[in-house]
Amino acid sequence: MDNPLLRQCIEENNALVADWLKAGKHGEMDYLERLFPEKSNPGKSFPFAKSVIVLAFTNRWGDPMAPHPFPAPESDALLGHVSAYAREADYHSTGQAMLSRLAAMLGEGIKAEAAVDTKAVYERLFATVGGLGVVGGNDLLRVPDQANVRVLIGCLFVDAELPEVIHEPEMPFACDTCRACVRNCPTGAIQSGKPIDARKCISYLTIEKRGVLSCEEGGMIGDWLFGCDECTIVCPPRDKADTRIQVDLEWLLKTPAAEVRRAIKGNATAYAGVSQLRKNAVVILKKMETPRAEELLMWVRNNTGSDLIRQQIGLW
């Protein structure tokens, strides 16, 4: 934790994040401003920590055979899509379980605290300083193993002095020679050499923005219900592979909310919640402009108990 390179990287990153927040590019994610003081000083957030162990894991991200909680749609179903990383169990719980096992291996009497996108931690910064990979143009961690390029990150802070192990990642190509993620971002949220503008990011719009979507924002999300894969499926450079999860919009909108909630429990989509997914489904339906879509929208208008969804229906 007292590595000079780590301290320098944290200081440099703090300056970039402060400018990003000041420019308002975090959108409605007010918690990022609230947690910034904690993120900017991990020594204060984890005062007991003498070392940090960083791991990258895949959670079968992008594996089309990995299970998910949504029923298979009929061939003529009205469809929305969920990001491929929502397959398998929620990555938060998967990573926490891995780090808990790792903490147990360290022995009794050692204090350990895990963070898997659940605490105020710059996970990607710790991963890059540790040499697990580099941060790509899409602001995600790129690792040398091209077969498992899409990874998630976990950090384990411990009160033991561990041997310092810093890798030297041998990346097969530099991001500056590729920029596939920049070219394939459908909304322009990713720009070369600039921080991501979350306000244009489909993942932000479908997951984090909790209010109604404007006409412009609704146009941006395409047919995405949760997340977006456009900048990940092209890294490393290759043909696009459709590993999205197909969701029957009629099932999502007509199934009792409690039943949908039970179905997605333990899945990454549970973070968004049923109302958020349904709000996005309404946006997708309104753009279809077909008799079936209009019929389903009318059913939702007459049966929903959500003010948010009624507002979204009436916005356009």
Give per-residue pLDDT as tens, 9-18: 999 999 999 9
d(CA 89, CA 19) in angstroms, rounded, equals 35
Among candidate residues 222, 212, 267, the one with its CA nearest the CA of residue 84: 267
Q: What's the Cα-to-Cα distance from 297 to each of 71, 196, 251, 284, 289, rounded to whole Å?
A: 21, 33, 13, 10, 10
- Which amino acid is located at 243 in the chain? T
Q: What's the Cα-to-Cα distance from 74 to each of 78, 141, 279, 285, 300, rounded to whole Å?
A: 9, 36, 22, 17, 20
- Which amino acid is located at 129 in the chain? V
Q: Does 117 participate in catalysis according to the annotation?
A: yes
> In the prediction, which pLDDT does 312 show?
96
Task: Say if residues 56 and 133 touch (Cβ distance below 8 Å).
Answer: yes
Q: What is the pLDDT along the chain (316 residues), one digit of tens a residue?
A: 888 999 999 999 999 999 999 999 999 999 999 999 999 999 999 999 999 999 999 888 777 888 999 999 999 999 999 999 998 888 999 999 999 999 999 988 999 999 999 899 999 999 999 999 999 999 999 998 866 667 899 999 999 999 999 999 988 888 888 889 999 999 999 998 899 999 999 999 999 999 999 999 999 999 999 999 999 888 876 666 788 999 999 999 999 999 999 999 999 999 999 999 999 999 999 999 899 999 999 999 999 999 999 999 987 6
> In the prediction, which pLDDT does 193 show?
86
DSSP the chain: ---HHHHHHHHHHHHHHHHHHHTTTTTT-HHHHHHHHHHT-HHHHSTT-SEEEEEEE-TTTT-TTS--SSPPPPTT--EEEE-GGGSSS-HHHHHHHHHHHHHHHT-TT--EEEESSSSS--HHHHHHHTTS-EE-TTSSEE-S-GGG-S-EEEEEEESS-PPP-------SS-GGGT-HHHHH-TTS---TTS---GGG-HHIIIII--SPPPHHHHHHTTTEEE---TTTTTSSS------PEEEEHHHHHHS-HHHHHHHHTTSGGGGT-HHHHHHHHHHHHHHH-SHHHHHHHHHHHHH---HHHHHHHHH-
> In the prediction, which pLDDT does 145 show?
80
d(CA 162, CA 160) in angstroms, rounded, equals 6
> In the prediction, which pLDDT does 289 show?
87
> Exactly one of 63, 76, 90, 117 is catalytic; which is it?
117
> In the prediction, which pLDDT does 122 show?
95
> In the prediction, which pLDDT does 316 show?
67
pLDDT one-digit tens code per residue, 84-102: 999 888 899 999 999 999 9
> In the prediction, which pLDDT does 79 show?
98
What residues contact 257, with CB distance under 8 A and at least 6 apart? 274, 275
> In the prediction, which pLDDT does 315 show?
79
Task: Say if residues 38 and 245 touch (Cβ distance below 8 Å).
Answer: no
